[in-house]
Amino acid sequence: MPAVTFEPLRWQDAPTRVTISTHNAHPRVFYQVTAPQQIAAMVIGRPVEELPRLVAILGPAHHLAAARALDRLFGVNPPPPAENMRQGLLQAVIFTAHLQKIFFLLSAGSDPFAGLRRVAGAPQQASATHGLMDEIMHTLALVQEAAVVLGGRSSHPITAIAGGVSRYLKEEQYLRLTEIAETCVPAAVRIVAAVRDTILNTGAAQAPFDHDALGPMAYLTLAAPTAEQSQETVRLQAPNGETVDRFEVRQLLEKIDFRQEPWTYAPFAFIKDQGWPGLQSEQRPGLYFVGPLARLNGGQALGTPLADQERERLIAGRGPFPHFDVVAAFWVLLVELLQSAENMRTLYQKENFLGPSIRSVPVEMGREGQAALESPQGLIYHHFRVNPDGIVEAFEVLEPVAENNALRCLVSQKTVENALRQKQHWKEIKARLELNLLPF
């Protein structure tokens, strides 16, 4: 079999392709990031307070992570209104990212699940699907409007600064945010129910995804403060769900190392003390992943009633956590979509954004800043050093492109092997790859 390349792959955050070649008659599949990401080169030598604006090129959540790192650098805590604005923006970012993936799932081709529904004996519901897509687009527009109100821009926010945010909201924006949140909650309920009942909870529709299950792998998440630990910590959990390590955020880059392969620009993050096992090994010590599936694999209740109900439906349909399959990964997006909608309804109240101050003005500066954040795609971490004049001397970032690189390679390998075994056409294999990679 000659080498086959699928390029570009739809819906991936980084520019990517998949190349398939033979190795002793066995397909070797390479998931490749095709462009370098040199954010450190862009920010070193710049004033440190520019970081939130500059690193937003990596995604809106990086804007917020950089602002949190500045808080640590200057030793300040944002006032409650500013913290609520930041959290409100983060919830809008999560909602938008997850809803876009659901839209991509439903819009892949003209109707990628029509054949599956015929097999299952379910009605085609073409008009219902059309109405659902309209509601998704309308809801997306509303939440992007909320992101503009809170962040100044939707995809490249600018409002988070050291110690808080740069501006108060206008009087008319308080009411508008409340209206958006109250509209999004019932919309999310309808969208989630339609996707769950039409696709994820239908046996025949699940079958192609189930064959391409990732398989057990460790996962890394940010853990909230507890009675025993007053600060955020990072939790490493084994494939069976057992917590095998818990450490302070500032230790992240002491625990994680990177492997660079010559055929991709993205490095592979792995657990340093477990070593790099390689991608061909049956055993996967050292490899881990991040993201919505990793967050829910922890098994904790979410604290928001609609999301908790959907989480229970997932458990009833797929079994108890942890999960490592594509169906569960899509279903978890629905759970977190409801959670972010409920969080927006709680946060988007006028009283949460009012107060005498929206910024704690820094009066002194340290030499290092660091912060972690759970983004829509998973755990991100920023660490930087500055000189006495506040100029960035070094910058390190840990983000899901590297942390989920091994996961995407393994999913790609398994998907292609199964598709070739079933003698699928190359066009079908590409579509299957894109869908299987989408929820991660």
Q: Which band of pLDDT confidence, cut at 50, 70 and 90, is reported for residue 300?
A: confident
Please report where in the chains the tokens 């009942």 appear, as a residue: 197
Average of per-residue pLDDT values in the chain: 91
> What is 189-208 written as a DSSP string?
HHHHHHHIIIIIT-HHHHHH
pLDDT at 123: 45
Q: Which band of pLDDT confidence, cut at 50, 70 and 90, is reported for residue 203?
A: low
pLDDT at 280: 83
pLDDT digit string (tens) for 36-86?
988 999 999 999 999 999 999 999 999 999 999 999 999 999 999 999 999
CATH number where 337 lies? 1.10.645.10
Q: Which helix (H) or strand (E) segment is 280 a member of?
A: none
Is pLDDT at 204 greater than 60 in this prediction? no
Q: Which band of pLDDT confidence, cut at 50, 70 and 90, is reported for residue 206?
A: low
pLDDT at 127: 44
Instruction: Choose the weakest-confidence range: 18-27, 232-241, 389-398.
Output: 18-27
**What's the mean pLDDT in 207-233?**
80
pLDDT at 169: 97
Is pLDDT at 115 greater than 60 in this prediction? no
> What is 25-64 written as a DSSP string?
TEEEEEEEE-S---HHHHHTTSBGGGHHHHHGGG-HHHHH
92 phi, psi to nearest 5 deg = -65, -40
pLDDT at 126: 45
**What's the mean pLDDT in 261-275?**
96
Instruction: Choose the weakest-confidence range: 46-50, 131-135, 332-336.
Output: 131-135
**Strands 256-259 vs 378-386: parallel, antiparallel or unpaired:** unpaired
Query: Per the domain annotation, does 413 fall within a domain?
Result: no
Q: How many CA atoms lie within 13 A of 391 on its CB side?
A: 6
Query: Per the domain annotation, does 353 fall within a domain?
Result: yes
Query: Per the domain annotation, does 376 fall within a domain?
Result: yes
Is pLDDT at 110 greater than 70 in this prediction? no
Query: Per the domain annotation, does 402 fall within a domain?
Result: no
Query: Per the domain annotation, does 387 fall within a domain?
Result: yes
Query: Per the domain annotation, does 18 fall within a domain?
Result: no
Q: Which residues pair with 26 in a beta bridge?
A: 23
Number of separate domains in the chain: 1
pLDDT at 231: 84
Domain that holds residue 165: 48-247+282-395
Is pLDDT at 230 greater than 80 in this prediction? no
> What is 138-160 written as a DSSP string?
HHHHHHHHHHHHHHSSSSS---E
Query: Per the domain annotation, does 437 fall within a domain?
Result: no
Is pLDDT at 235 greater than 50 in this prediction? yes
pLDDT digit string (tens) for 149-193?
999 998 899 999 999 999 999 999 999 999 999 999 999 999 999
Is pLDDT at 432 greater than 60 in this prediction? yes
Structure tokens belonging to residue 320 = 């108890």
**What whole-number percentage of the chain has pLDDT above 90?**
81
Tell me the pTM: 0.93
pLDDT at 170: 96
